Amino acid sequence: MKPDIDPSKLGRLVVGLNAVIFAADGEGELQVLVTESLEGGQTALPFGPFDPETHRTFEIGLREWVRGQTGFELGYVEQLYTFGDMGREAPVAALAGAQGARVISVGYLGLAHEARPLKSQEARWVAVTRFFPWEDHRAGRPAILTDIIEPALRSWADEAAAPGRRAARSQRVHANFGLDGAPWNEERALDRYELLYEAELVAEAARDRGEAPDGARRIGETMASDHRRILATALSRLRGKVKYRPIVFELTPDLFTLSHLQKLAESISGFALHKQNFRRALDRAGFVTGTGQLESRTGGRPAELYRYKPSPAPAGALGIAVPRLK
């Protein structure tokens, strides 16, 4: 049976293209490429409309928009997710003529071997932790979790009138934020952001309702539209994918030290890693090979430089191990 749909009520659809582009700086810190939205100068991901007349594919359109907005040439890229919730804001300046239309955004995940200098003055590399400070556990459980987020989420769970709803909220809070001894799953970055949004603990929640955000609840740096949700989706994808594919080497330069590789893995996962176990896992996987060259630097003992060895990994090892430092 065909659905009874009145074509005159379908409205207009506009397809936008978003790019989450990750790279590492010289210290192995995970960075994301951002630009400025023309709506109040908010921080935004590279974004633009898909033009079916000039863009043969979504990816071609994406590469053109990223190049035009940031001066950056995309390398590795894969489709991330399609974002189409009703009511989501669209960067109006980037989507001229989109007023009144339903905006569907196709998100892409891009990886670069280094956070190279950018030609555009509006574009810059920013540490991912600026948007998700609660995700960085490298120096232990962050204070923002203990002092701000945990009490607020417990209160939010207790505010539910129905006992069943209180229990459901409490279970979600415990499972996603590792409360009362529950494990912290780094791959749930998106679930945590969406829970904070639902509990109105991020500024975007108030902004999307047309209200002024409570200054005390500006947790993490705000982004235009739903770009912080898109970024959280990409972070969750990256954290999961490094464990079953050697994708981390898309973020390293041609030559790197093992210390740099470990710092990068720590920055991605959000946890300090056990040095010996990390290196033993690398040896077993056979992903890297020494070059015999030493890192050129002043002071301290120079470290050997390695390169990625794209060969079949033994014993079913497909990604890199992330053994946490207990």
pLDDT tens for 308-324 read 988 665 545 568 888 88
DSSP letter assigned to residue 31: E
Confidence tier at 44 by pLDDT (50, 70, 90): very high
Q: Give the count of alpha carbons within 13 A of 322, CB side only.
A: 25
Confidence tier at 233 by pLDDT (50, 70, 90): very high
Tell whether the model's pLDDT for residue 87 goes beyond 80: no
CA dist 322 and 318 (Å) reads 13
CA dist 104 and 88 (Å) reads 9
More confident residue, 214 or 295: 295
Mean pLDDT of 300-313: 82
Tell whether the torsion through CA atoms of 210, 212, 216 and 218 is positive or negative. positive
Per-residue pLDDT tens over the stretch 96-125: 455 566 778 889 999 999 999 888 888 999
Confidence tier at 10 by pLDDT (50, 70, 90): very low
Which residue's entry shows tokens 């120079």? 302
Q: Please give the domain boundaries of the chain with CATH numbers for all domains.
A: 12-130 (3.90.79.10), 138-220 (no CATH), 247-316 (1.10.10.10)
What percentage of the chain has pLDDT greater than the value 90? 55
Instruction: Give me 228's structure tokens.
Output: 């912080």
pTM, two decimals, is 0.90
Mean pLDDT of 178-183: 92
CA dist 138 and 62 (Å) reads 34
Contact 177, 169 (CB under 8 A): no
CA dist 32 and 21 (Å) reads 6
How many other C-beta atoms are found inside a 10 Å radius of the C-beta of residue 7? 5
CA dist 253 and 113 (Å) reads 5
What percentage of the chain has pLDDT greater than the value 70? 85
Confidence tier at 90 by pLDDT (50, 70, 90): very low
Determine the pLDDT at residue 8: 47
Residue environment code for 52-89, b if the CB has 16+ CB neighbours within 10 A, otherwise e: eeebeeebebbbbbbeebbebebeebeebbebeeeeeb
Please provide the DSSP assignment of 66-128 as one string: HHHHH-PPP-EEEEEEEE--TT----GGGSTT-TTSEEEEEEEEEE-SS----S-SS-EEEEG
CA dist 74 and 108 (Å) reads 11
More confident residue, 69 or 41: 69
Q: What is the dihedral of CA 31, 150, 229, 162, to 10 degrees?
A: 170
Mean pLDDT of 251-256: 96
Angle (CA) 226 228 229, round 5°: 65
Per-residue pLDDT tens over the stretch 138-175: 999 999 999 999 999 999 999 987 888 999 999 999 99
Per-residue pLDDT tens over the stretch 200-231: 999 999 888 888 766 656 799 999 988 999 99
Instruction: Give me 86's structure tokens.
Output: 């009703």
More confident residue, 186 or 88: 186
